[in-house]
Every structure is written in structure tokens, then in C-alpha cells.
Amino acid sequence: MSDPVSLSRDGDIGIIRIDYPPVNALGHGVRTGLQSCLREAMADDSLQAVIVIGEGKTFPAGADIREFGKPPQPPSLPEVINEYEASDKLVVAAIHGTALGGGLEVALGCDYRVALDSARLGLPEVNLGLLPGAGGTQRLPRLVGARQALDMIVGGKPVKAAQARELGLVDDVVSGDLLDGALAFTRRLLADRAPRRRIREMDVPGDTGAELFSEFEQSIARKQRGFKAPFSCIKAVQAAVELPFDQGIERERELFFKLLISPESAAQRHVFFAEREVAKVPGLDKTTPKRDIQTVAVIGAGTMGGGIAMNFANAGIPVKLLEVKQDALDKGLAIIRRNYQNTAKKGRISAEQVEQRMALIQPTLSYDELGDVDLVIEAVFENMDVKKAVFTELDRVCKPGAILATNTSTLDVNRIAAFTGRPQDVMGMHFFSPANVMRLLENVRGDKTADDVIATVMDLSRRIGKVGVLVGVCHGFVGNRMLHKRQAEAVQLVNEGASPQQVDKVLFDLGFPMGPFAMSDLAGMDVGYRIREELRKDDPDNAPPRNWTDELVEAGRLGQKTRAGVFDYQEGDRTPIPSPDVDAIIEKYRRDNGITPRHISDQEILERCMYVMVNEGAKILEEGIAARPLDVDVIWIYGYGFPVYRGGVLFWADQVGVKTIFDKVNEIYQQTGSDVWKPAQLLTDLAEQNKGFYSK
Ligand code: CAA
């Protein structure tokens, strides 16, 4: 392999090129190369200035994350950047693509920065549970002010080149050929005898008062609950205004290393790679053919169907929206328009974009208009007879090769596929509500689904901004199957003596956005009730026994929509309030069933609600419903708001210790004999070998 960094010359200007695909990450070879090329350029009397530029698609997008956690190899990135800053010749960074993290920090070690108009610049380390550890927290505030630096470092969002120019982060924005632009810029600097600009020698401009930092911390406290990095980022920026540069750098290093060894950062880095890994389906690769998806249809304009259609319109893909009745179609379209208008009111899209997106959604009442679409997603009522009618129609009208997908959340995709004469073209695309917001897409492969259909749907997931995870067929697939076990355990804990608010608080404190009961109030208590009632009719032997939640529904307490469910709600407020009426129903249920309530500790709640999910996750892996632990983890993070800083249910299980979990699962199984607590074989094996889901 050629050197990842090389030095060439254009007259009296040296050009240091970084060529280390895919993103020019600043791994050991790149750091060494940057150092040696700089030294060579400094020693070359024919050179007056140096430009640093990235080959391929980007300026370095950061430190090499894969090196974190391994023994550090010199030179460190801060050392390299210091050498650039201290060099005797003018150094200019020429930026394109995404100059992120350590990449932007290299650019901040240069005297001047030129960016291509399409470039983006940022310090996103916070998303990996880290802070910019190569001088970024000390240099950025000196260039753009503390307030703006806080926004960029704590928010972690990159800024576009034009905005970077306004902020003073870049000195020139060019279009066309970046190197030509950077050479012209550098020649002008040389002609003007422009001074060196070492950021370390600058003062932080603008507001630097202590209250700036305390107010900023307060403003993020709720949203960043449980995360460590955002708060350390604030401390580091504060050090930039309060300490001399070298002491500030020391403070930054100290805070950085604390974060680097924290479980939160390990979890967040795990999620970064897991999110990318889920797209790589075992058994398929880049050579697997894909079908061309230009147009899509969605069957059903209800909440789910409308949300699904919006995803395609947002991505610029025309979508036909089919309903059987005109008023349902009108209602669905009106809701979509209102959603877009609300987004426009928040300034996230323009009024023109609202119209563009609405124009991509073509309403129809007739299946006959679906003959030319490349993909259809069915989002109708969860009932096998209804699905049968829809898929029979689709089989009749759709062109050969069209992909026929179902958004079912529980029904058997193989049975649905069998309603058509083309089961190889059928698969599940299970969106999560609200479908235009939640990033998870469980893509369900049927027994007969063709590889190119899977590859196409996985690719399309990314095109529409989703994180697609491939799963197999079973009741509830991965996410809901695990969720149902946890919900049942939460109810059982209340049966035995816990209060709903105690259960909810334990899971909220673990980092979930809400507890199991607040969640069922949000989703509507009647949803689960209807499923249970169906089961009681169809399969009474295997149906769940009646419990106090059934009584709540029968008393008209359906959740937030009736302002009364497991909790009470005040008009226009989603805060759950414990209800004496519900307490009375629970007490009556216990009395009627001869249960003497006992004290239940928070630890017991945590163990039973979480371990039951871990055990089910292990069964799901064992059965091949999910291919890898990371698939399960990504589903929980993007579908249910499992805290990113805990890395997913199975990553969390490894941190607790699989052996500890197995012992408890087995103990409960011995006590209850309940099937859900029967330890999964995989859990048993891992515990015996003292391994975790992720240990090799
Ligand atoms: N280190 C190692 N590998 C990286 C990487 C990094 N910093 N950034 C991206 N990659 C890898 C990805 O894992 C992926 O690998 P595979 O193809 O094997 O899956 C590949 O590069 C392409 O990445 P994406 O699929 O994400 O490509 P994209 O074009 O959609 O996005 C990107 C490109 C915007 C750069 C995105 O990858 C990204 O956001 N990367 C992370 C940027 C970041 O967080 N930088 C800070 C690093 S920490 C740091 O720098 C600490 C410090 O202060 C010293």
C-alpha cells in the first residue's frame, strides 16, 4: 500500500496529501506521515508555505475510532497538531467533505483555512461520549467565541462552509477545484506577507462570563440526562476562557481521558459501529444485485400509512397513497399536510418544500393505478383476512419484480407471502410509530424472500434516512417480542405489590425516555387489550390471564387519549400523575386474587424487567431471528429509545455480567417454572464459559 500521507510541490508551496480511505481518519500511519511530511517541508528551503489537503471524499473525518481502547502509539494527535502550529512556515488547511473531530482540530492547528463550498466542519466527539481531545476545546473558542464553541462542541452538529466563513472558522470559501483555490489563496497570503496566525496566541472573543456556562448547562440538563460527555465539554470550554492555553490543554486532556475510559463512551462508540454494521447482512455483499426503486405505493392512509408515505416524499421519491374511501384519503392527506406545516413552523423546512413534498404524494382510490410502482408497502388493519384481501389485489395488479412489503408488527409474513403467487418478492417493512420520526425499520425476511429483495430494502432504508435491521419471522419480531415480555413482567410486579409509578421510575432512571406504563398510556391501552381479547377467544389455553389492566380499559381508561390510563393526565400535558382510582382497581384485583402485597425493591424491578428482555434476546439470537447481538441492540436504541450511553440491551447485559444475569434468570425460573424465565441455551452457554454476548 502507498504511504497514507505524501508531500509534493507546486512551485514554492508544499502540498501534504492525506490518502487513507474511506474517511482519511487520523490513525497511526496518518499521524506519522503528517509529522514526517511537515518536517520534510520545513527542511526544504525552496518551500515558503504548506497546504494540507485530503484525497478522496473528505478532509480527515476524525481520529481513528478503531484505535480507541488500544495502547496509544506515538506521535499523539495533539503532538502532531502542535508541530503544525509551531512550524516556521505558513500552513493552510484545504477542506472538503467533512472535516470532523480530530480532522477539524488539525485544521485549527494551521494558520488559515480554505473550504470548498460543499464542505462541513464540526466537532462531533460528544456523540461518541467524548470531547475534542486534540486542542479543539481550547482553539475553537479562541476563533469563534465561547458561546458558538459551546453550540458546536456540545451540540456536536457540523456547520456548512458558508456558516463557518461567517463565524470566522474558515478564511475563504471556494468553488470548483479546491487545490487550485487553496493555492491561489496561499499565494495571495505570501504576496501580502500575511502574518502567522497561531490560535493559541489569541484571546477568546465575546462573552466569557461564568454564567454563560452555568446557563448553558441548565439549558441542556433535561435533554442530556445520563450522558457524561456534554457536561465535560462545557467544563473544557470554560477552561479555555479561564486558563492560559497550555493549562487549558492539560485540563482538556484530563477530561478527555476520563471520558475515554467511561462505560458511556464505550457504549456510544459501540452504537456508532453497530449502526453501520447492521446494514451489512451476513450472506449478502456488495455484489448482491438490487432492484431499481423509483416509485412507491403505500396502502392505507391512516396514521401509520401517512407517516410511511412522508418518508418517501422527504427523500424525493414519488409515492402513491391508496385508500378505499375518499373521506379517509382526504383525512390522511390533511394530516400529512398538517405535519409538514408544523415542521415548517419550526423552521426546519420551507413553505415551498411543504408543497414539493405534498406534490410527491399522489392520492388514489384504485389498485389499478399501482401497476407501474416498484415497491408497495401495505399499512392496513392488523387482521389476516384484511391482509389477504390486500395482497391478493397487489398480486393481481403489480408488475412482475415489484417488491410487496407489509408493515405488520405481529402477523406471520410467510402466511402473507403465500397469499401471492410471488413469495420471493414479499417481505416485512415494520416501521415504528410515528413512522416519519422513528429511525428504526425492522425489515422482516420471509422463508422465501429473494436476496435481491432483501438487499434492495436494506439499501432503501438508508436512502429514506432509516436504520434498517434485518430480522426473521416470529410473533412481534425482535423489538415487540422483547417488549411484550417486559410489559407482562411490569404488570406482574404491580400484581405482587409494586406501584406503577415505582416500576416506571426504575426504568426511567435507567435511561429510558419513559417507563412501561407511561409508554402503554401513550400507545393506547386498548391496543394490547384487543390483542389479548382476540387470543382469549381464539386460543384460551395460551391466552394471558385477565389482570387489572383489562379492568382499566373496561372502565374507559385508554391512556393519554382519554386523559386517563394507568396514570391521569391534565389537558395538554403528558406528565403522568398517579391515580387513586387506579390504586383502588389494583387493590381490588389483588384482593380478588388472594394476593397479599409485599415490598418490592427497585433492584428487583430492574432485574426482572431487564433480565427477562436479555433472556428473550438470547432466545431470539439462538433461533436466528436476529443475526447478531448488535442487531438487537440497534433495534432497542432506535425503536424504543434505549439509552445510547448504555449501548443497547445486550451490550448493557455484558456490562452487568452475563453470569450474574443467568444466575438470577435461573433462580426465578426455579421459583416460578414460568416459560419466559427458562434460561435460553445461549445464555446458559455464555454463563458457563464466563463470556458475554460480545466477547469473542
Ligand atoms: N474512525 C474510523 N472509522 C471511521 C471513522 C473514524 N473517525 N469515521 C467513519 N469511519 C468508517 C465507518 O465505520 C465506515 O466504515 P465501514 O465502511 O467499514 O462500515 C466508513 O468509515 C464510512 O463511514 P459512513 O458509512 O459513516 O460514511 P458516510 O459517508 O455516511 O459518513 C462521516 C461519513 C460523516 C465521516 C461519518 O462516518 C462520521 O460521522 N464519522 C465519525 C466522525 C467523528 O465522530 N469524528 C470524531 C472522531 S473522535 C476524535 O476525533 C477524537 C479527537 O478529538 C482526537
Can you list the domains of the chain with their CATH numbers?
Answer: 5-261 (3.90.226.10), 296-471 (3.40.50.720), 479-624+657-688 (1.10.1040.50)
- Residue whose C-alpha cell is 462508540: 269
**Residue 542: predicted pLDDT:** 77
- Whether the CB of 77 sits within 6 Å of ligand 1: yes
Ligand 1 neighbourhood includes 128 CB (under 6 angstroms)? yes
d(CA 34, CA 51): 12
132 C-beta closer than 6 A to ligand 1: yes
For the range 509-512, what are the long-range contacts, defined as Cβ-Cβ under 8 Å and sequence gap of 24 or more?
Answer: 510/606, 510/610, 510/643, 510/646, 511/225, 511/226, 511/642, 511/643, 511/645, 511/646, 512/640, 512/641, 512/642, 512/643
Enumerate residues 6+ apart whose C-beta is below 8 A from 665.
611, 612, 614, 615, 677, 679, 683
Q: What is the pLDDT of residue 382?
A: 85
ipTM for the assembly:
0.93
Instruction: Name the residue of 57, 65, 253 whose CB sits within 8 Å of the most ligand 1 atoms, as the mutation to test its pocket.
Output: 65
Q: Whose CA is nearest to atom 32 of ligand 1?
A: 61
Q: Is the CB of 274 under 6 A from ligand 1?
A: no
- Three-state SS string over 229-286 comes to HHHHHHHHHHHHHHCCHHHHHHHHHHHHHHHHCCHHHHHHHHHHHHHHHCCCCCCCCC
Task: Tell me the chain's radius of gyration from C-alpha atoms.
Answer: 28
DSSP H helical ranges for 411-547: 413-417, 451-463, 479-496, 500-510, 516-523, 525-538
**pLDDT at site 696:** 56
Neighbour count for residue 10 (Cβ, 10 Å): 15
**Shortest-distance Cα residue to atom 29 of ligand 1:** 23
Q: Are 50 and 35 in contact (CB under 8 A)?
A: no
Q: Which amino acid is at 633?
A: D
For atom 38 of ligand 1, the residue with the nearest CA is 61
Instruction: Tell me how far the alpha carbon of residue 76 lies from the centroid of ligand 1, in angstroms.
Output: 19
C-alpha–C-alpha distance, residues 86 and 110, integer Å: 9
Per-residue CA distances from 325 to 363, 519, 627 (Å): 11, 32, 41
Query: Which positions are annotated as active-site residues?
Result: 105, 125
Is the separation of the CB atoms in 633 and 651 below 8 Å? yes
Question: Cell 442530556 sits at which residue?
Answer: 224
The CB of 100 under 6 Å from ligand 1? The reply is yes
Phi then psi for 299, rounded to 5 degrees?
A: -100, 120
Measured distance CA(131)–CA(253) in Å, rounded: 9
Distance 65 CA to ligand 1 centre (A): 8
Tell me, letter by letter, the H, E, C secondary structure of 373-405. Answer: CCEEEECCCCCHHHHHHHHHHHHHHCCCCCEEE
Burial class from Cβ neighbours inside 10 Å (0-12, 13-18, 19+) for residue 665 reads buried
Which residues sit opposite 572 in a β-bridge?
A: none
Of ligand 1's atoms, which has the minimum distance to the CA of residue 136?
A: 53
Q: Which of 296, 158, 140 is nearest to 204 (CA)?
A: 140
Residues of the chain below pLDDT 50: none
Instruction: Report pLDDT digits (tens) over 237-264.
Output: 999 999 999 999 999 999 999 999 999 9
Distance CA 628, CA 650 (A): 10
Q: Cβ distance 650 to 617 under 8 Å?
A: yes
Predicted local distance difference test score (pLDDT) of residue 1:
61
DSSP-derived 3-state class of residue 430 = strand
Atom of ligand 1 nearest to the CA of 131: 53
What spacing in Å lies between the alpha carbon of 98 and ligand 1's midpoint? 10
Q: Which residue has the cell 404491580?
A: 494
The residue nearest atom 28 of ligand 1, judged by CA position, is: 23
- Determine whether the shortest distance from the Cβ of 134 to ligand 1 is under 6 A: yes
**Which ligand 1 atom is at minimum distance from the Cα of 128?**
44
pLDDT of residue 45: 96
CB atoms closer than 10 angstroms to residue 9:
12
